Amino acid sequence: MSETAQLKIGDKTYDLPVIEGTENEKALDISKLRDLTGYITLDIGYKNTGATKSAITFLDGEQGILKYRGYPIEQLAEKSTFIEVAYLLIYGKLPTTEQLDKFQFEINRHTLVHEDMKKFFDGFPSKSHPMGQLSSLIGALAAFNPESLEPGLSAEIVDLEIHKLIAKMSTIVSWIYKKSLGHPVNYPKNKFDYVTNFMYMTFSQPTEQYEINPVVISAMNKLLILHADHEQNCSASTVRIVGSSDANLYASISAGISALWGPLHGGANQAVIEMLEQIKEDGGDTDKWINKAKDKNDPFRLMGFGHRVYKNFDPRAKIIKKACDDILENLGVQDEVLEIAKRLEEVALKDPYFVERKLYPNVDFYSGIIYRALGFPTDMFTVLFALGRLPGWIAQWKEMKENKEPIGRPRQIYTGATDLDYNDISSR
C-alpha cells in the first residue's frame, strides 16, 4: 500500500498521499488540500514547496550531488561538450553520433540573426548592461519568428524554435560584446562547433588572424556545462511559470534571463569579481571583509558564498576551482584576485559563522576569475551564465509543456485592510 501522511485540523484528520521520486526524495501531495479542508499552505520563498515533478536534473544539497538526466556533473564536465549536454538536457538521452551531428547541423543553419535586429543594437546606450540587452533581444526574437506564437505548436516547430534559439543566442551574446567595444560584429562561421564559433565571433578581429586555443575552448565548454541546468531555481521556475500561460518560448526565456540577472542569482558572478577587486583595492585584508559579512548591521554579504540548496558543498565549485588553477597556469595569467579568493575561502571555511550556517563557495565564486582570464569584461559574466543555462531553461519549458502543466498561479494569505468605505478626497 502506498504511504500516506496524516494532517489533523481541529477534530478532522486528512490523509495526504506521499510522493516518492526516483532518488527517494519524498513529498506530501497537497494538491487537493484546499478542496478538502479550505486551507492553503504558506511557504514564502518556496523553501519547502515542490512546484513540479521533473526528470531533468537531480541535486542533493546535503551531499553535494548534481546529476543531469542521471549523469554525474563531474563526468559530464570532464568528458562531454556543451552541445552534447544541451542535447541530453533537452531530449533526455545522450545522443548517438548521428543525432549529435544532426543537432549541431540544425543549430548551425540558424546562427544568423535577421539583419533588422542590428538596429536594436544601435538603439541601446553604449554602456547599457548586457543583461538588459540580452533579455530584450531574446524577447524580440518572437517578433522575428511569428510561427512561435501559434498555440499548440507541433513537435517539429518546437524543435525548430529550439534550434533557432540556441543558435541565435550565441550570435547575439557575441554581438552585445562587440557593440560594447564599438567593434564590428563577426558573422558566424558554421564550419566551427558551437563553442568555437562563439569564441571566434566574440574575440576575432577583422585585422588579425584568430587562433583557436583548445585549452580555452575546453575551459569554456566546461563552464557552460556546469551552468547548463540546476532544477527549479529562480530563473528556471520563472521560465516554467511564464511558459505555463502559453507564452512563446522566446518570451519565456527572456523572462528567465531577467530572473537570472539579480545578484542573488546569476548576477553573483559579476558581484564576486567586483567584491574581490574592492578587497584588493582596500589593501587585501580578508579578515576585515569576513567580519563585515558577519556583521548583521552591515548589508555586505560575501558574494559567491552560500546557496539555497547546497548546505555541504557545491560540486560545481569544486570542479571550477580546479579548472581555474589549470587555465590560469596554462594561459600564464597571474591574477591577484585569485589569491584573495583563495584566502577568503580558507578563512571563511574555518569561521564558525560560515560553518554553522553551512555557507560554502558556490559555482560563481571562481567562475568569474576564469572568464576574466579568457578576456571577458565583468559585466558580460552573467550573460555567459545565461548562454550556459539556455539548454536547461529550454528543457524545463519543454517538459512543462509535455506534462501539460496548468497555468502557475500561487495563492496568498491576505493581510491588508478590510471593509473600508470610500471617502471623498476632500475629507481624507
Q: Which residues bind ligand ACO (CB under 6 A)?
A: 264-266, 268, 293, 301-308, 357, 359, 362-364
The angle at the Cα of 342, spanning 337 to 348, to the nearest 5 degrees, equals 120
Residue number, 140 or 236, with CB nearest to ligand ACO: 236
The nearer residue to ligand ACO, 140 or 290, going by C-beta atoms, is 290
What's the closest the beta carbon of residue 105 comes to ligand ACO, in angstroms? 32
Q: Which residue is nearest to ligand ACO (CB)?
A: 306
Q: Look up 116 and say whether it is catalytic.
A: no
C-alpha 293 chain-centroid distance: 25
For ligand ACO, the closer of residues 289 and 376 by Cβ is 289
Q: Least distance from C-beta 254 to ligand ACO, angstroms?
A: 19
146: enclosing H helix or E strand: none
Least distance from ligand ACO to the Cβ atom of residue 314, Å: 8
Q: Minimum distance between the CB of residue 380 and ligand ACO, rounded to whole angstroms?
A: 16
The per-residue DSSP string of 76-123 comes to: HHHH--HHHHHHHHHHSSPPPHHHHHHHHHHHHTT----GGGHHHHHH
Cα four-point dihedral sign 348, 352, 358, 359: negative
Among residues 186 and 367, whose Cβ is nearest to ligand ACO?
367
Catalytic residue among 229, 307, 314, 379: 307
Closest by CA to 360, choosing from 318, 389, 327, 326, is 318
DSSP 125: -
CB of 271 to ligand ACO, least distance (A): 7
Please report how close the Cβ of residue 302 comes to ligand ACO at its closest, in angstroms.
4
Classify 417 in phi/psi space as left (phi over 0), alpha (psi -120 to 50) or beta.
Answer: beta
Beta strands in 125-168 (DSSP E): none
Residue tagged active-site, from 110, 129, 229, 364:
364
Report the alpha-carbon distance of residue 405 to residue 266 in Å, rounded.
26
* Closest CB to ligand ACO among residues 173, 260: 260
Distance CA 334, CA 270 (A): 19
Is 364 considered catalytic here?
yes
Nearer to ligand ACO, 105 or 300 (CB): 300
Task: Report d(CA 170, CA 164) in Å as an integer.
Answer: 10
How far apart are CB 331 and ligand ACO at their closest, in Å?
A: 25
Question: What pairs with residue 4 in β-bridges?
Answer: 17
Closest CA to 246 of 146, 148, 163: 148
Cα–Cα distance, 196 to 1 (Å, whole number): 54
User: 183 or 343: whose CB is closer to ligand ACO?
Assistant: 343
Q: Which of 346, 401, 108, 389 is nearest to 260 (CA)?
A: 389
* Residue numbers annotated as active site: 307, 364
